[in-house]
Structure 1
Amino acid sequence: MARNEQLIRQHKLLQLLEISRFGRTLEELKGELIADLGLSTLHERTVRRDVEALQAAGFDIQSDTVERGKVYKLGANNTGVHEIGISATELIALSIGRELLYPLLGTQYWRGIETFWNKIQETVPNGVFDHYTNYRKTLHVFGTPSKTYEKHEGMLKTINRAILEHRIVEIEYEPTGKPVSTRRVEPYGLAVYQSSIYVIAANPEIDDPTDRLRNWKLDRFKKATALDEYFKPDPEVDVSKYLGRSIGIFSGDHPTDVRIKLGQRAAGWVREDPWHPEQKLEFNDDGSAVLTVPASHPREVLPKVLSLGTDAEVIGPSEFRDAVAEAVTELASRYESAGQSAAG
């Protein structure tokens, strides 16, 4: 565990030295490491040993004495590490990805995106960047939300550190419409889904190993504290595989194949914009189709089916069909009441 913590500190040290034009004192480095890594304490001699270890590993870290004391900074031998060749097309692709990640604004991830983007702009020849600027005007990105996670930056640092160190996190969590409760979770990873960040974590209170992994929406976190308690990661947990099993964020180990009858227009839309990479569309002669798609919860299917209006009907299983039927009945009742009120 200590070795892992040392690697994390040293990686962060290199990042801090990279963005420092005039160097950092050991005291300044210590303060920034505590803030960025969410540490409670850190001794200055530990920072000195980390700097010396990086120097021994071949990094050109030089020291100089200035008015505020002895400072450390990256030497000229490291400047060539970030020199890259990039085309206008590659710049366009990168800038599109950057715009799609706006929800991460204010987090440590966004700072990494911005520093890398700034390095590229400073590195590429003016002609290439001018060519990129002209062609970038032909492609626009819309639909990205104004939502950001700036106020969650501290919690994200804590959770990210806990994931790397396999530490249990105590959270104050407020589900929609429910009071705040204190939970203990074992974090495995983070996921970005439809502009929201989720923490993929096991709930140790659940005994069934196939049902312990849950998705906790970061918006609902009021507080997150990394405890001095560690958990043993389950070697069977594959976060990427777990998230890919369903059409939404309600992923689970046992998704259900949901069958949906689609009219001609809806079938065309779903073919153009698939709900899931493993979906199946069985077309009829009249252009209608039956969609089979994996889902872990009726709430994943409900908004998608309702968005297609009368062009979509859930065939089964009954749990999913009943959920849509209940929502449609409630909506019909509300609109009927509203219509009567308006007529009166």
Structure 2
Amino acid sequence: MSRRERLYHLHDILRQRRTPISRQQLMDELGCSQATLYRLIAELRDQLGAPLEQDAEGRGFYYDRDLAGHFELPGLWISPEELQALLTARHVLGNVQPGLLEDELDGVQQRINQLLDRQGLDLSAQPERIQIRKDAGRPVPGDLFETVLKALFMRRRVRLHYHGRRRDDLTEREVSPQRLIAYRDRWYLAAWCHRAEGIRSFALERIRDMALLEEAAQELPHEQISEHFDQAFGIFSGPAEQTAVLRFDAEAARWAADEAWHPNQQGEWLDDGRWELRLPMGHPRELMMSVMSYGPDVEVVEPVELRQSVERALGSALARYRGGGSDSGVTADS
């Protein structure tokens, strides 16, 4: 039973009672612990305004009969986080490839619209009022996405052809899917690669084709997958091996300090207005790209390898601009 269902059930119990009901009886009726019961009572009384009273001995709970007739729970209440999730889900369902579970998803979307309508948000009448842009996202074929889901939950291996951007090559892999990850508006398959004998992540939009195999997937402990994907910054990082220290100039700090870089990040405001960020780092490639997006407004303090990599990249960019202006057709007057 969910928290919301327990609240409704508690309200119904108290509304129908003529005498106080004991704490133990409520716990048995709701199937919850004493701590959970007290949280429900506090929410019902303090947040929702129910006329909930406790008897003189402190053992029973009841509704004030003079006020109970004027109190009703709202038909539905949604937290800001839940509302955001519903809006996002509605957008995602509206952009699913036509034909992929079309009838089933249409019913789900209609139900979401009903929930939003109860909050006074009639999005069907004014859909242009909410826009969720996914400019950086890359489309994934519906049949491929469906095959990935089948392999994940049926626990079977897949054979795929993957185009790697870095080497610009097409390779055949047999993998055991472990986890599907939505990261920065892109989908990644975390899998055990039987050719490389290691954990790898595959961007779904780079998979050229995929076939579901009969062989059972090799199972990896959750801790091993979490160590590879969750401990360090980024999707390609691997286990956390170092701590990166970044210092943002005072102006850039107002943006960087509000970003969620990693669940285990640590930030500190310096006396001169700069912001220092510490976060776990594995492979530096992805962190380096994020650092470069801040240009001259951030300095890599540690580790030395990351600092040197950024320095070389900035030097190469500067050399290209200094030496390539005439070749590119750009002049000082243009």
Same fold, judged at TM 0.5 (above): yes
Name the CA distance, whole Å, in 2 between partners of 1:222 and 1:189. 19
Summarize the Cα distance change of 1:325–1:148 in structure 2 as closer, same or farther, 3 Å threshold: closer
Q: Give the aligned partner of residue 222 of structure 1.
A: 208
Instruction: Give the distance between the partners of 1:223 and 1:243, measured in 2 at CA.
Output: 24
How far residue 256 of structure 1 moved from its aligned partner, in angstroms, is 2.6
Partner of 2:111: 119
Counterparts of 1:310 and 1:328, CA distance in 2: 9
User: Where does residue 101 of structure 1 map in the other structure?
Assistant: 92
TM-superposed deviation, 1:219: 0.9
Consecutive unaligned residues in structure 1, runs of 5 or more? 1-84
Gaps of at least 5 residues in structure 2 are 1-74
Structure in which a larger fraction of residues adopt helix: 1
C-alpha spacing 1:101/1:204, structure 2 compared with 1 (3 Å): same
Residue equivalent to 1:18: none
**2:171 counterpart residue number:** 181
Letter in 2 for 1:252: G
**Would the aligned equivalents of 2:177 and 2:217 in 1 still touch at CA under 8 Å?**
no
Q: Which has the higher contact order (CA 8 A, sep 6+)?
A: 1
Shift of 1:237: 4.2
CA-CA distance at 1:301 after TM superposition: 1.6
Does the 8 Å contact 2:231/2:239 carry over to 1? Answer: yes
Match of 2:218 in 1: 232
- The amino acid across from 2:84 in the alignment is A
CA contact (8 A) 2:157 2:214 kept: yes
Cα distance, 1:103–1:144 mapped onto 2, change above 3 Å: farther
Aligned length: 252
CA distance in structure 2 between the aligned counterparts of 1:308 and 1:120, rounded to whole angstroms: 39
Structure 2 Cα separation of the partners of residues 100 and 297 of structure 1: 34
- Does residue 202 of structure 1 match 2:188? no
Contact 1:103 1:146 in 2 (8 A): no
Q: Shift in Å at residue 331 of structure 1?
A: 0.6
CA deviations over 1:266-286 (Å, ceiling 9, x no partner) = 222221223122111232211
Query: In structure 2, how many angstroms separate the alpha carbons of the residues matched to 1:164 and 1:146?
Result: 28
The alpha-carbon deviation at position 334 of structure 1 amounts to 1.1
1:312 is aligned, of 298, 316, 329, to: 298
Q: Please name the residue that 1:165 is paired with.
A: 154
Which residue of structure 2 aligns with residue 31 of structure 1?
A: none
Structure 2: distance between partners of 1:95 and 1:202: 33
Classify the secondary structure of the residue corresponding to 1:213: strand
Query: Which protein shows a greater Rg?
Result: 2
- In structure 2, the partner of 1:274 is 260
Letter in 1 for 2:286: E
Deviations 1:287-322 (A, max 9, x none): 113211122222212222122221111122222112
Other-structure match for 1:11: none
Which residue identity is paired with 1:105? V
Q: What is the DSSP-based 3-state SS (H/G/I as helix, E as strand, rest coil) of the residue aligned with 1:133?
A: coil
Match of 2:16 in 1: none
Question: Does the 8 Å CA contact 1:88/1:132 hold for their aligned counterparts?
Answer: no
Matched ranges for 1:1-40 at <5 A: none
Residues 93 and 105 in structure 2, CA contact (< 8 A), matched pair in contact too = no
- Structure 1 pair 147/88, CA: closer, same or farther in 2 (3 Å)? same
Offset of 1:142 from its aligned partner?
4.4
The change in CA–CA distance for 1:139 and 1:343 in structure 2 (over 3 A counts) is closer
From the superposition, tell whether residues 187 and 110 of structure 1 become closer, same or farther in structure 2 (CA, over 3 Å). Answer: farther
